[in-house]
Structure 1
Amino acid sequence: MATHEPAYLIGNFSIIDPDLMAEYRQKAGPIRQRYGGEITTRVSDVTPVEGTAQSVLIVIRFPSMEQAQAFYHDPAYEPAKALRIRATEGGFIALVPGTPPA
């Protein structure tokens, strides 16, 4: 059953190869847009006040969890994902459900 609640892809990592990361953005962007993904937050100088964090934080909003999962698991995204994995270290990527704005 499809939902109408947004979902978010949240990533926190450090970039170790800026050239590969630029190539990733170029390849991943059109695929993300096909699934309605919109970058809502991209910060490259995270300053944690508690705990440990990597330097980059990104939040991408998708119209639904189904769209977020479809983006992440799309075979066309696999080559781009491999670039991101090589270009970064540490941190995490997570898909999380959201709630519609009030």
Structure 2
Amino acid sequence: MRPSADELFDELTQLDLTLNAIAAQPGSADLSLQQSLQRHLRSLRIFLDIDAAQVLHDLADAAQRVLEAGDDTMVASAMRDLERMRALLDAMFRRQVAQASAA
């Protein structure tokens, strides 16, 4: 059984909360945030087509770079990548849900 659109958006909301916490603590290397991010990734994979899965992977890389950033330049670059990947993933999820609803 495929998860519902509500379940997808609930998980996406939880991911957003974790990503907001990561963005608020650049350079912290917070292990609990890293673990939360990994849990979300495992949960979200069941919802994804191959393209969205790659974007999710890129999003996780950007979030990890934010946590590990050592200076302001690295933080700024990682934050830009993180925001770009967040917007792209959100758009891909919405498209995927719309296609599933139309089917």
Q: TM-score scaled to structure 1, two decimals?
A: 0.38
> Where is the helix percentage greater, Structure 1 or Structure 2?
2
Q: TM-score scaled to structure 2, two decimals?
A: 0.38
